[in-house]
Structure 1
Amino acid sequence: MTVNVVKLRSKLADTVNRVAYQGERVILERRGTGVAAIVSMEDLALIEKLEDEADAKAARKALEEMKRKKLKPIPWTKARKQLGL
């Protein structure tokens, strides 16, 4: 389902119900281009789980590379300073 952002106001309750209870995914458009989406909580949980798994895989890969190259980790205080945090 696609909804124009301007027209969403008049359809918001119906749109939320379709997402929440029927599992629809809604693409929000502005000038004919998708700019955002509304998804169910179940879809959001799945997206977040996939992101967490990808992050964990990247972390394992980085640790393996550090071990292979015999690199030492950078202390968090030093990393924060280097990043300007």
Structure 2
Amino acid sequence: MDVKTVNSSSARQSFSDILNDSGYGGQRIVVTRKGKAVAAVVPIEDLEAIQALEDHKDVEEARRILSDSKSEFIPWEQAKKELIKK
């Protein structure tokens, strides 16, 4: 899929069009400032896919940690004391 690039000044002036292009047209739009990419407007489906991948990664990490219960865990009472100190 092609990615459209707009500078931040143009993005401010045509924000409604950008939202329509992304939300209804599926267009991915990168916003630049001084030639550097600083943000992106993407269809909600893209964001949901990214979040699902992150969730999957988190679940896999939790499973890895839980499979070796002796590593990376400290007793609740110890954790509570350390949190209260801060």
Q: Same fold (TM over 0.5)?
A: yes
Query: What whole-Å deviation, never above 9, does each CA across 1:15-49 have from its counterpart, x for those lacking one?
Result: 11000111111111011111111111111111111
1:51-66 to 2 correspondences below 5 Å: 51-66=54-69
Shift in Å at residue 77 of structure 1? 7.4
Percent identity between the two aligned chains: 35
Gaps of 5+ in 2: none
Gaps of 5+ in 1: none
Q: Which runs of 4+ in 1 moved over 4 A?
A: none
Residue aligning to 1:10: 13
Residue aligning to 1:81: 83
TM-score by length of 2: 0.79
Higher helix share: 1
Say how many residue pairs are matched.
Answer: 81
TM-score by length of 1: 0.80
Query: Considering only aligned residues, what root-mean-square deviation do their CA atoms show, in Å?
Result: 2.5
What is the SS of the residue equivalent to 1:3? strand
